[in-house]
Structure 1
Amino acid sequence: MSTSKTIAKNTLFLYFRMFLVMGVTLYMSRIVLDQLGVTDYGIYSLVGGIVAMFGFLNSSMSSATQRYLSFDLGKKDEKRLQKTFSATLSIHIVIAILILLVAETLGLWYVNYKVVLPPDRLFAANVVYQFSVLTALVGIIQVPYDSLIIAYEKMNIYAYISLVEVGLKLGLVFLLVIYGGDKLIAYAIMMFLVSLIIRIAYQIYCRKNYAASKFKFEYDKTYFKELISYSGWNLFGGIASVSRSQGINIVLNLFFGTVVNAAYGLTLQVQSAVNQFVTNFQKAVNPQIIKTYSEGNLAQMHKLIIQSSKFSFLLMMLLVAPILFNTEFILNIWLKEPPEYTVVFVQLSLLGVLIDCISGPLIVAVQATGKIMRYQIIIGSLIILTLPLSVLWIYYGGDPKTVFYAILLINILSFIFRLFFLKVLLNLNILYFLKILIFRMLSVSFIVYGFFILLDQFNIASGWINIMFSILTTVTFVLIIGLSKSDYVLLRTFIKK
């Protein structure tokens, strides 16, 4: 199957999965917020976030797993592929044990002595914490199986298993509504059970379809050292991501309390759902970027990087622009009474998503080379600066939304440095990249923004009519200004396939 046809097919499967999961996730958030209340929802968001902080080891290994499995497939080396899978699974088991130890010592101490919690919810928070730890451990062991499916580009499996996941989560919501006990505890337990069932489903599929997934422990000191070294440099990226998402969550709790945590937690859910719109497209392209590098086809790799960055932004623009200019109306429909700061949090986070979405292919391209030491030190250090910068601004009188100003600033700086690394490592033509991408990106952004400002000033429409008008306007300008003639040819080919 050709590269473009594979990408087209996998993208369709991933978008089917995305809309399914996004719809259920947003519906669940509304019901869960209503059932738990703002305080308990904030507790779940905060305590679950602390567990995620200990997942930075896992996140660093997960990108290494994906890179090496895709690289081996590009080389068509089945023996090496099984060796890589077994080695990465062994390392993930060790990571799970390490995270369990840290979570049950440092993490447990932090929850009980440092987190600002209502005294009568301390027991519930501890139960939530324990089941969040178990959920995290299940996710850690699942990574090599997920990575293997992605490396083989069998994205339809995600769509099929998502049907099961969606059904289970909908059942979870209905059980929560009728349950008469402590709903916060019940929700944490049920979320763990869902994650466990899905984990088993992925493992069964891999065992039946991929010989490489049959675990065979073989200690190769040199190869383990190579994997761990690569993951070690990726560690900065994991720490940086945690610092920006969950570290800020803790800062907001210390300065403003659990109500702001609820607003931040809901914002992260919106951000995650919106990110899926582009992540699914990039997930279909990423294995091809790595494989073209392993084959030595840099010209095709450059083409994939530029085109996927451009389409990532335009796809994100289609979704983000209508939400940005109708945020309050959408949140009121979704949540009935959104917590304070939710509207402005969502708007600022979506601006950050727009800037950051074009970096996805750049990150994968750098990782494909395996030369990530300087990249991770510089980019990781930059992103980690988000946390002290946020604390500084809040300390000198900033309100909760200032944390998003820090995120926006760091996103822009990180993008600039990523381009520099691609020039050095892959000889990417930066001027050509900027000409193809930035000019059209800024043109679409300013014209759509100006049109929406006029729409708001003259109060031409409101409510659902305004949303529909916003969608039609964004689609029109993206098609007219955002796409070139060659893009139209590519788009027609994509649709036919």
Structure 2
Amino acid sequence: MTEQAENTKRIAKNTLMLYVRMLFGMLVSLYTSRVVLQALGVEDYGIYNVVGGVVAMFSIISNSLSSSVSRFLTFELGKGNMEGLKRVFSTSLSIHVVLALAFILLGETLGLWFLNTHMTIPENRLSAANWVFHASVFTFVINLLSVPFSASIVSHERMSAFAYIGILDIILRLLIVLFIAYSGWNFDRLIVYALLLVVVVCIMQAIYWSFCTRNFEECRFKLSLDSSYWKEMGSFAGWNFIGGSASLLKDQGVNILLNLFIGPVINAARGIANTVNNVLASFASNFMTALKPQITKSYAAGDYGYMVSLVERGSRFSYYILLLFALPMLFETEFVLTLWLKHYPEHTVNFVRLILIVTMCDILSNTLIILKAATGNVRNYQIVVGGMLLMNFPLSYFCLKVDFPPESTLVVALLVSIFCLILRLLFLRKIPGFSMKRYLCKVCGNVLIVTFISMILPLLLYKQMSDGIVRFFLICVLTTLCSSAAIYFVGCNKNEQMFIREKVTLIRRKIF
């Protein structure tokens, strides 16, 4: 119990550090998104989003390997195996060097051809789009090589370093935006913006590499030709490639479809919606980042009871955190966008609302994904669940082909997300201590009831009042009160209620 209490304290401390980073980033992101949109214009803003999406299509390899590296590093830490830890790190870095070279070749041939021959880019901005593409390729390569280092920081649960480095990254990006927006010099803002972001990425990755080599013994590179690790990690990453491909086709692939069928303006609307979603979802994702190493380590140590409790509580509380911030946004989307941007492209309001709903559904699967990855046995899981996720792309293509509105692509994403949640639960039934029935009842059923209760009074107020600052303020207050009450009285068990009371009492004593 003492060890579990210490782990819980570590999760809380790490989550707090990540929230410091996130809150600072959120404020800067909301400001910079508005300034960038105004500085670049709707068309260039859409071009930047969709061209970056072409490069992101190739990042399926990076995402697959990132998941693999994080899982193997954390697993070895859970077993306390330093030699295995060193071999995992060196093997992963060797793999990333090879892939970085392959990506440069692929990106600068196939990717460049697709950009110049198939994408809807105004002819007078095609040169700028090519500069953005080259910058995005270079950025991706640098990020690819840094994956083992950032995975080491997360696996060691050094979230304070993660937070401080992230804050520096945010400050540098803010300075770039201010330069682009307010510099009196005459230059192509889109090209300079993309190139300056490359400089920031290089600086940040140099800091990550320096920190890891000084603080973690395993982060000293040795060329590794350990065939067993190459095979095991390659197999794990290879099967995760299916899920990574599906996730990126769901986001960036559909973004490109929207560009092909409609044009860059719709990409700007989706880009704005994604910015709002990323800001709100980060409240929950930071909690998940702090939780992930503990789930993997508890599985490696065979502590299945604690592992299942982390999975169930992690899903519920990450959803509750998102609900607290997403609910007022769902009601007052138009007001917030007008206050924030003044003017925004058509479809942005619907995109924001639908993307948030999809994210609220997806968040119930996050701990399930972490748990399945911890087992290392992902082949059949990725074939089935990844195959279902891949349906986002053809179904979205069909909807756009038959002239359904662009919002239909997000309705498809929501339906696929629900099916994938069910499939994940079916795959996890055989893990010791895990119960599909219990998860559906104690997690999914619980959050649905909490959401329904939280919406009743705010919905009545929303229908009765005309829009404006007064309704916005009242909606924010009412959704917070209703959500907090529903979470506490319905969403939490007695032990969790006691824990919340203790923390509130402690905070009150410190303040007063």
TM > 0.5 fold call: yes
- The residue that corresponds to 2:480 in the other structure is 471
Quote the offset at 1:427 in angstroms: 5.0
State which of 87, 90, 99 in structure 2 corresponds to 1:86.
90
Q: What is the number of equivalent residue pairs in this alignment?
A: 497
- 1:378 pairs with one of 378, 384, 397: 384
**TM, length-normalised to structure 2:** 0.94
Offset, 1:238: 1.0
Instruction: For 1:256 and 1:377, locate their aligned partners in 2 and report how far apart those are by CA, in whole Å.
Output: 32
Work out whether 1:267 is the aligned partner of 2:276. no
User: 2-side partners of 1:459 and 1:489: how far apart?
Assistant: 37
Is the 2:146–2:205 contact (alpha carbons within 8 Å) kept by the matching residues of 1? yes
Contact 1:146 1:202 in 2 (8 A): yes
Question: Can you give the 5+ residue segments of structure 2 that lack an aligned partner in the other structure?
Answer: 508-512
State the distance in 2 between where 1:474 and 1:194 align. Answer: 39
Aligned to 1:195: 201
Amino acid at match of 2:98: V
The aligned counterpart of 1:184 is 190
Aligned to 1:391: 397
Is the counterpart of residue 247 in structure 1 residue 247 in structure 2?
no
**Segment drifting more, 392-401 vs 475-484:** 475-484
Among all aligned residue pairs of Structure 1 and Structure 2, give the percentage whose two residues are the same amino acid. Answer: 38
Equivalent residue for 2:223, pick from 192, 198, 217: 217
Could you list the structure 1 runs, at least 4 aligned residues long, displaced by more than 4 angstroms after superposition: 492-497
Letter in 2 for 1:240: A
Q: What does the per-residue CA deviation read over 1:293-348, in whole Å, with 9 as the maximum and x for residues that have no partner? A: 11111111111111111111111111111110011111111111111111100000
Contact 2:120–2:260 under 8 Å retained in 1: yes
Q: 1:474: how far off?
A: 2.5
| 1:113 to 1:328, Cα distance in 2 relative to 1, 3 A | same
Decide whether the 8 Å contact of 1:352 with 1:411 is kept in 2: yes
**Matches of 1:85 and 1:493 in 2, distance apart?**
41
Q: CA deviation at 1:192?
A: 1.0
Give the Å deviation of 1:424.
Answer: 2.5
1:394 & 1:13 partners in 2: Cα distance?
43
Pairs within 5 Å for 1:119-268? 119-177=123-181, 178=183, 179-268=185-274
Structure 2 counterpart of 1:358, which letter? L
1:292-307 map, 5 Å? 292-307=298-313
Say if 2:457 and 2:478, in contact at 8 Å, map to a contact too.
Answer: no
> Residue 60 of structure 2 corresponds to which residue in structure 1?
56
The alignment status of 1:336 with 2:345, answered yes or no, reads no
| Separation in 2, partners of 1:139, 1:313 | 29
Residue type of the partner of 1:10? N
- The aligned amino acid for 2:317 is F
Mapped to 2, the partners of 1:236 and 1:351 lie a distance apart of 24
73, 97, 100: which one pairs with 2:77? Answer: 73
Separation in structure 1 between the aligned mates of residue 234 and residue 218 of structure 2, nearest angstrom: 20
DSSP 3-state at the match of 1:214? coil
- Structure 2 distance, partners of 1:300, 1:477, is 26
1:483 to 454, 468, 492: 492
State the alpha-carbon separation in 2 of the partners of residues 356 and 299 from structure 1.
24
| Partner residue of 1:101 out of 100, 105, 109 | 105
CA distance in 2, matches of 1:449, 1:430: 27
Name the aligned partner's letter for residue 75 of structure 1: K
Q: C-alpha displacement at 1:494, in angstroms?
A: 6.4
Q: Any gaps of 5 or more consecutive residues in structure 1?
A: none
Equivalent-residue separation in structure 2 for 1:138 and 1:468 (angstroms): 44
Tell me if the contact between 1:41 and 1:262 (Cα under 8 Å) persists in the aligned partners.
Answer: yes
